């Protein structure tokens, strides 16, 4: 474990990652207004921007802004579609002008009398209400129409504000998840700090280490003497016990071991065979090519087989979980010990001693102490004693509360 970082991750020598730092006074408590969170600032800015745009829309009225934007877009489209067709003195130009002028007149005539920017549309119509149009008339009409562009700008601004608010809300939710993890981690550190670190944990460590050595020796002996077919049968049976996490043999290798006579050999012998030349191997097995193809290509898997999935980790689990882990291992260890093994300590008896630990009235206290001694680094103990963990926890909770409040506001406005 690296100094300054617990088994739960995230703490550095300078404080908490992404959280608050101690202010040097020992308390480290910071007000909500003092919380330095880019995520919170971004969310509050996105809320302010959205509310500002929406307020401007509300001042005009949602319906007017929608109608005004639609009218502006239609007017601009008419101007852009006719700024070449309706210019000039030819018959086609005149026909285009008549149609264009009638369409623009109908658009302006259909506007509500109380439309705030109606005058802009009327001014644009006056610019093109002539018997003959020139390019500059269209430019003048477009310029006259500019004040009405505010409708489209408002809707575009709101759409952009909605997008920013969505992204800021998403980042805030992610940050809340991080903060919850950090709060849990700091609370856990403080819980560990109250533990009796001088408790005699060897009382539970010794039986566990004895069992682990026994099962490791038994499994190694079993691998060296049992046939590969027997070993694979044991591994297949482990599928019934989810907490015993053996890697299952690859399908092709399993089929080879189950159907080929070479599967009656022990795994170390198969690995040795895989090193032979095909001519030498032909004296030992019926199908040298099949053995080479299956065993040689899966050498890494076979070499890594060990008793680790059957061992008991340190520090051990709480009593209820330890009992369950022992119960899951017992059938496999019994089957392992029932094979041709020669070990100093019977793994079944050693596992029984581990099971007895979970019934010891002192187990919970010793297990908690073992966990604390494993998880707490020296640097973390110093930070706890200095009050820094408590200060950081308060700052994390404050940031979390501020983010939760801001998210509620974002949900209400967005």
Residue 37 belongs to some domain of the structure? no
By CB atoms closer than 10 A (0-12, 13-18, 19+), residue 43 is: buried
349 lies in the same domain as 206: yes
185 lies in the same domain as 93: no
248 lies in the same domain as 190: no
| pLDDT over 60 (residue 163) | yes
Domain extent, residue 389, equals: 175-197+376-413
The model's confidence at residue 206, banded by pLDDT at 50, 70 and 90, is very high
What does pLDDT average to over the chain? 84
By CB atoms closer than 10 A (0-12, 13-18, 19+), residue 392 is: buried
- The rounded distance, in Å, linking the Cα atoms of 145 and 187 is 63
The model's confidence at residue 34, banded by pLDDT at 50, 70 and 90, is very low
145 lies in the same domain as 59: yes
Q: What is the pLDDT of residue 69?
A: 95
Specify the range with the lowest mean pLDDT, choosing from 104-113, 256-265, 289-298, 336-345: 336-345
What's the Cα-to-Cα distance from 306 to each of 117, 127, 224, 298, 328, rounded to whole Å? 81, 90, 11, 15, 17
359 lies in the same domain as 380: no
Q: How many domains does the chain have?
A: 3
243 lies in the same domain as 139: no
The model's confidence at residue 84, banded by pLDDT at 50, 70 and 90, is low
- Here the CATH number for the domain that contains residue 121 is 1.20.120
Residue 29 belongs to some domain of the structure? no
8 Å CB contact between 262 and 273: yes
| pLDDT over 80 (residue 297) | yes
Q: pLDDT (tens digit, 9 = 90+) per residue, 351-391?
A: 999 999 999 999 999 999 998 888 888 788 788 878 888 89
Tokens found for residue 266: 């022990």
Residue 268 belongs to some domain of the structure? yes
The residue-averaged pLDDT of 335-339 equals 79
209 lies in the same domain as 355: yes
Q: pLDDT (tens digit, 9 = 90+) per residue, 36-80?
A: 478 999 999 999 999 999 999 999 999 999 999 999 999 999 888
The model's confidence at residue 90, banded by pLDDT at 50, 70 and 90, is low
pLDDT over 90 percentage in the chain: 57
228 lies in the same domain as 349: yes
Residue 388 belongs to some domain of the structure? yes
136 lies in the same domain as 252: no
The residue-averaged pLDDT of 121-138 equals 83
Instruction: Bin 10: left if φ > 0, else alpha if -120 < ψ < 50, else beta.
Output: left
Pairing of strands 15-16, 11-12: antiparallel
| pLDDT over 70 (residue 182) | yes
| pLDDT over 70 (residue 32) | no
DSSP string, 366-402: HHHHHHHHHH--HHHHHHHHTTHHHHHHHHHHHHHHH
Percent of the chain that is helix, strand, coil (3-state, to 5): 70, 0, 25
Residue 280 belongs to some domain of the structure? no
Residues with Cβ within 8 Å of 286's Cβ and at least 6 positions away in sequence, in order, are: 260, 261, 262
DSSP string, 126-188: HHH-SSSB-HHHHHHHHHHHGGGHHHHHHHHHHHHHHHHHHHHHHHHHHHHHHHHHHHHHHHH
Question: If you search the block for the tokens 């929406």, which residue do you land on?
Answer: 54
Helix axes 267-275, 288-295, angle to 10 degrees: 110
DSSP string, 245-300: -PPPPPHHHHHHHHHSGGGGSBHHHHHHHHHS-HHHHTTT-S-HHHHHHHHGGGHH
How many alpha carbons lie under 13 Å from residue 253 in its C-beta half-sphere? 22
Residue 253 belongs to some domain of the structure? yes
- The rounded distance, in Å, linking the Cα atoms of 373 and 365 is 12
Q: What is the pLDDT of residue 11?
A: 35
Residues with Cβ within 8 Å of 375's Cβ and at least 6 positions away in sequence, in order, are: 1, 6, 7, 8, 192
Residue 158 belongs to some domain of the structure? no
Residues with Cβ within 8 Å of 277's Cβ and at least 6 positions away in sequence, in order, are: none
Coil/strand/helix, residue 313: coil
Residue 247 belongs to some domain of the structure? yes
Q: pLDDT (tens digit, 9 = 90+) per residue, 207-253?
A: 999 999 999 999 999 999 999 999 999 999 999 999 999 999 999 99
363 lies in the same domain as 380: no
By CB atoms closer than 10 A (0-12, 13-18, 19+), residue 278 is: exposed
Q: 16 — phi, psi (to 5°)?
A: -100, 145
Q: What is the pLDDT of residue 296?
A: 87
The model's confidence at residue 341, banded by pLDDT at 50, 70 and 90, is low
126 lies in the same domain as 224: no
Query: CB count, 10 Å around CB of 106?
Result: 9
| pLDDT over 50 (residue 23) | no
Q: How many residues does the chain have?
A: 414
Coil/strand/helix, residue 12: strand
8 Å CB contact between 23 and 30: yes
The model's confidence at residue 8, banded by pLDDT at 50, 70 and 90, is very low
Q: Which residue has the higher pLDDT, 307 or 283?
A: 307
347 lies in the same domain as 215: yes
């Amino acid at each position: 474990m690296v100094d300054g970082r617990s088994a739960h991750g995230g703490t550095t020598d300078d404080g908490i990652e992404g959280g608050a730092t101690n202010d040097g006074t020992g308390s480290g408590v910071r007000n909500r207004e003092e919380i330095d969170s880019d995520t919170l600032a971004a969310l509050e800015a996105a809320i302010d921007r959205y509310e500002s745009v929406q307020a401007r829309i509300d001042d005009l009225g949602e319906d007017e802004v929608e109608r005004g934007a639609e009218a502006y877009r239609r007017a601009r489209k008419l101007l852009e579609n006719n700024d070449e067709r309706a210019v000039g003195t030819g018959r086609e130009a005149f026909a285009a002008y008549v149609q264009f002028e009638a369409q623009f007149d109908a658009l302006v005539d259909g506007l509500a009398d109380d439309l705030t920017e109606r005058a802009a549309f009327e001014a644009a119509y006056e610019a093109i209400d002539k018997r003959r149009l020139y390019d500059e008339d269209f430019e003048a009409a477009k310029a006259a129409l500019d004040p009405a562009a505010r409708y489209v700008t408002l809707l575009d601004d709101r759409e952009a504000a909605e997008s920013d608010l969505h992204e800021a809300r998403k980042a805030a939710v992610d940050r809340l998840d991080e903060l919850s993890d950090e709060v849990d981690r700091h609370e856990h550190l403080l819980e560990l700090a109250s533990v009796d670190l001088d408790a005699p944990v060897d009382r539970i460590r010794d039986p566990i280490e004895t069992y682990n050595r026994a099962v490791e020796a038994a499994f190694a002996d079993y691998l060296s003497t049992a046939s590969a077919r027997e070993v694979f049968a044991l591994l297949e049976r482990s599928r019934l016990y989810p907490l015993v996490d053996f890697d299952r043999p690859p399908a092709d290798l399993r089929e080879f071991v189950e159907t080929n006579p070479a599967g009656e050999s022990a795994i170390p012998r198969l690995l040795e065979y895989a090193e032979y030349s095909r001519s030498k191997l032909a004296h030992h097995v019926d199908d040298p090519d099949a053995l080479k193809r299956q065993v040689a290509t899966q050498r890494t898997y076979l070499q890594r087989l060990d008793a680790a999935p059957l061992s008991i980790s340190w520090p051990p689990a709480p009593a209820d979980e330890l009992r369950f882990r022992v119960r899951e291992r017992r059938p496999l260890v019994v089957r392992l010990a029932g094979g041709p093994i020669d070990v100093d300590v019977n793994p079944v008896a050693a596992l029984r001693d581990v099971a007895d630990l979970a019934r010891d009235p002192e187990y919970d206290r010793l297990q908690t102490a073992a966990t604390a001694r494993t998880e707490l680094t020296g640097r973390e103990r110093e930070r706890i004693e200095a009050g820094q963990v408590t200060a950081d926890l308060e700052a994390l909770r404050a940031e979390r509360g501020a983010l939760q409040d801001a998210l509620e506001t974002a949900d209400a406005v967005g």
